[in-house]
Amino acid sequence: MQIYKAPLRDMRFVLHEVFGSADLAKLSSEVDLQPELIDSILEEAGKLAEQVLLPLNASGDEEGCHLENGVVRTPKGFKEAYAKFCAGGWTALACDREYGGQGLPESVNKFVEEMICSANLSFGLYPGLSRGAYLALRHHGADELKKRYLPKLAEGTWSGTMCLTEAHCGTDLGMLRTKAVPRDDGSFAISGNKIFISAGEHDLTENIIHLVLARLPDAPAGSKGISLFLVPKFLPTSDNKPGTRNGVLCTAIEHKMGIKASATCQLTFENATGWLVGAPHRGLAAMFTMMNSERLSVGIQGLAISEAAYQSAVVYARERLQGRSLAGAQHPEKPADPIIVHPDVRRMLLTMRAYAEGCRALGAWVARALDTLEYGKDPALRQQAEDFTALMTPIVKALFTDFGFEAANIGVQIHGGHGYIRDHGVEQYVRDARIAMIYEGTNGIQALDLVGRKLGAHNGRLLRGFFHPIAEFIAAHKTHPKLASMVGALEKALGALQLATATIAEAGLRDAEEAGAAASEYLRLFGLVALGFMWARMAKVALEALPTAHGEAAFYHAKLVTARFYMERILPQAGALYLAIKSGKQAMMAFDEAAF
């Protein structure tokens, strides 16, 4: 049986105590965002996740989606759950009030996303894709398209997709063949085939809005010749109701390893009517508004799986009796001690906990930058926020999903043989988590983005927004009587990251393969340091809160112990990663291709 309880106390800790929610109230004039309002929103989202979505997770995985005459049927209970989701206003949470949304910041929305995906990742993909489509259209669509489609996406009666991939090309979008032919009325005839389209067809909404990458007749070759088009499943009538069926058809659904209740579709477009979004031949730039949003959300999916797997593992480790403690029987009245007494089980549990809570804090740091970028009035601060989110997007996507898969596997290990079978539901987390490392750009692609685009951008300006706050924190707290050891560990890891950055910058100028060979280790190193900074900050807040914590002393003490575990048992990996980066490309590139 899968177990999930929304981690509301930890979310409040991150939002209110680590980053200070008072600043959120100043960002937007649309919402009087007081801490009490934030807490009530999170509490209601937690109830939805626990009571409505979690009970459908295992059954949805068991049943999966079904294709019937071009229509996808979602598993039993999904339609009713989605109706409750829309009725509760959750699709509109972070949408603009101008289009019927609630205007809440990403700092709140990302925690809601986490709870939804912890309880039911397959379900979370449907509104998640709509959110990305909403952002792309909002930023790049013509006013007429915005007025027609954004309110429907906000209320959730229409949903969105992102149609990039074709059978012959995945990441290399410059090879796509889907065509867009202009019509006299200003629309375009879209023809081509797309695969791996999440939420491409389903029965949850009355219409589906596809954002499709295609080529105009005069398009230049490669990625510079791609345009973006809005293609609805049903053409809207004059009163904005679903009208005539458009020329888009689901021809198959993928039979997947995981996320089986999420419809992953093959779509055929046959002279489908579409409208240009953004400028001709600039579709990739417009689509990246959606893709970058999705990459951050996919990172949150990794965090969500980490949390769900951890909670199930803790309950099992407390209940499963196996052997005696190495220090002597801890529960002599029982035939054996629960496995939570064993050091190796605690190592695994604390690793999962450190991943989840560290990623939650890092995700909140990035979400706060997104809110500054959206609502900030100071151009300099908005530029800093843009730089920071650009730098951190590949790290959040790759690190969080790597950790999510690792945590899910650890959860199975803690359950032992009972984890490998389906009864406890933890093997589903492994299968569901695996895709997050692949879609929206594989984690290897994220690493190449980091070293190939972000490090050298604007003469290293993006890095300053990350390195400087950490260096300032270290300088201010390295002699702190209770933080010094943690800060010292963070300082060593930061030094390894700085040396690795210099190594890659120097070697990459001479040989692009050197940077490519180091990319994945560098992203992991960067992420470990980022989490180290978060844990140092959280430890500081916990120390300051303890003297007056009263009934919450156990919460803050657990935070300090987890921080220590991270600094002593996980962060030291930074040194080994630097040595691997320093070794260069020869160990892998000198191997003869024929010998593989």
* Residues whose CB falls within 8 Å of the CB of residue 211, separated by 6 or more in sequence, listed in order: 133, 136, 137, 160, 161, 162, 163, 228, 229, 230, 231, 277, 287, 290
Q: Residues 329-335: contacts with CB within 8 Å, 24+ apart?
A: none
Reduced to 3 states (helix: H, G, I; strand: E, B; else coil), residue 254 is coil
Active site residues: 440
Biggest alpha carbon distance in the chain? 84
CA distance 443 to 401: 8
CA distance 551 to 555: 9
* Residues whose CB falls within 8 Å of the CB of residue 129, separated by 6 or more in sequence, listed in order: 159, 160, 161, 162, 198, 199, 294
Q: Token pair of 163, please?
A: 């149609």
CA distance 159 to 352: 34
Q: Token pair of 217, please?
A: 């007749």
Identify the H or E element spanning 401. helix 379-415
Cβ contact 301:404 at 8 Å: yes
Cβ contact 135:290 at 8 Å: yes
Give exposure, 168-204, as e/b (b: 16+ Cβ within 10 Å). eebeebeebebbbeeeeeebbbbbbbbbbbbbbbbbb
